[in-house]
Amino acid sequence: MSAAPADCARVTEEPARAGDPVRRGAASTVGATRTGPTAEAAGGADPNRPAPVLSVRGLSVRFLLPGGRRVDAVADASFDVAPGECLALIGESGCGKSVLASALLGLLPANSRTAGHAHLDDLDLLTADEPTLARTVRGRRVGLVPQSPAAHLTPVRTIRSHIEETVARLTGVRGRAARRKAAEQASQRAEFPRDHLDRHPHELSGGLAQRAATALALIGDAPLLLADEPTTGLDRDLVDRTVDELRRHVDDGHALLMITHDLAAAERIADRVAVMYAGRIVELTDAGAFFGSPGPRHPYSRGLLEALPERSFAPVPGLPPELGSLPGGCAFAPRCDRATDTCGALPVLENTVACHHPVPAPAAGPHATRTPEDTRA
């Protein structure tokens, strides 16, 4: 996710109407040709889950480029994150994960247009003004572990200074000694070594900068934590410890939206998984079902899991499409061995998967009913 440069402007247009996936644009096609209810938007969510902290509906982000070109980086994304829950957002590089996070925090550049809704409790993050986002959202209501932590740290200030300033700004801790103690506690929590607190950002390894960013993100005790690749640059042992600390944070009742390439980390921490491909959420399901049984239903999700070293280690064949020139219909079809002519129509996320030919779920028992789709196994 990019930093929030001082000159970064955000353009958010009037709220979308039902059935209108775009706020502005001649072709009215942010979000492409067809939108439909997601499981959550359609009311398919578990009624026993607590009310979401974050509720995203039909979120689309388009970048307008010179020469009239455009890039639909996020298209019609809908999901919830509830207190005490971690949703892992996974997908190949460039599929739109960080743009989605930037949209939620009002950190998109001026050449972007958004559509849809993203409610943080009762506040629509897409229409909130910059002073509200700066004063009450970023840090206070949403903690952020940014993708490139070093870029978010001020080069001339030590890590201690960053942490103490954040403690002073976001907590009621007053007095130098108390602030110093709170800062050391915050750094310990993210396993940032105490004897590195007086170092400057450029003196830190990527892993240490990552730990400093996690320490800073947890200080405000925000109800929602948005962590964009929080384990990048950490060795496996520290990945596990960081993930366990984030999980404790979730178990304390916070909501976590974690963007990650690291499926092992996602498996360790997530309650639910959203898989993104070419700007769209193509699967949204329970982590237990995804990593265990029945496994992913979308052929792309299945390919991501199969690419893990402990599985077949075979990458998904082909390359992701350019978001500026997506094929019509299912964007994964050119790479998919299950594709048919039907895939020329855009599949809608229904139940847990947006696919015309999802991978069949294994039969639950000797009398389990098989759908016609299951016979394609």
User: Closer CB to ligand ATP, residue 65 or residue 151?
Assistant: 65
Is the peptide bond prior to 52 cis by the omega test (within 30 degrees of 0)? no
* Window contacting ligand ATP (CB under 6 A); options: 88-96, 216-224, 283-291, 350-358: 88-96
CA distance 69 to 268: 40
* Window contacting ligand ATP (CB under 6 A); options: 63-71, 78-86, 169-177, 307-315: 63-71
- Residue 150's closest CA among 200, 100, 98, 184? 200
Q: Which of 109, 233, 295, 334 binds ligand ATP (CB under 6 A)?
A: 109
Q: Which of 99, 208, 218, 330 binds ligand ATP (CB under 6 A)?
A: 99
User: Closer CB to ligand ATP, residue 107 or residue 168?
Assistant: 107
* Window contacting ligand ATP (CB under 6 A); options: 75-83, 91-99, 262-270, 297-305: 91-99
CA distance 350 to 356: 10
Exposure b/e, 298-321, CB count within 10 A at least 16 = b: bbbbbbbbeeeeeeeeeebeeebb
HSE-up of residue 29 (Cα within 13 Å, Cβ side):
11
CB of 98 to ligand ATP, least distance (A): 3
Asked whether position 96 contacts ligand ATP by CB under 6 A, the answer is: yes
CB of 1 to ligand ATP, least distance (A): 7
- Residue 63's closest CA among 93, 94, 91? 94
Asked whether position 71 contacts ligand ATP by CB under 6 A, the answer is: yes
Asked whether position 231 contacts ligand ATP by CB under 6 A, the answer is: no
DSSP label of 369: P
Query: How big is the site for ligand ATP, counted in residues (CB under 6 A)?
Result: 16
User: How crowded is residue 135: how many other Cβ atoms within 10 Å of its Cβ?
Assistant: 10
Residue 81 three-state SS: strand
CB of 303 to ligand ATP, least distance (A): 16
Q: Which of 16, 41, 54, 73 binds ligand ATP (CB under 6 A)?
A: 73
Asked whether position 93 contacts ligand ATP by CB under 6 A, the answer is: yes
Asked whether position 63 contacts ligand ATP by CB under 6 A, the answer is: yes
* Window contacting ligand ATP (CB under 6 A); options: 89-97, 122-130, 152-160, 330-338: 89-97
CA distance 76 to 281: 8
* Window contacting ligand ATP (CB under 6 A); options: 96-104, 134-142, 174-182, 218-226: 96-104
Which element (helix H / strand E) includes 63?
A: strand 54-64
- Beta bridge pairs of residue 59: 77
Asked whether position 97 contacts ligand ATP by CB under 6 A, the answer is: yes
CA distance 208 to 204: 6
Are the C-beta atoms of 308 and 263 separated by less than 8 Å?
Answer: yes
User: Closer CB to ligand ATP, residue 91 or residue 347?
Assistant: 91
Chain positions contacting ligand ATP, by CB under 6 A: 63, 65, 71, 73, 91, 93-99, 109, 111, 147, 323
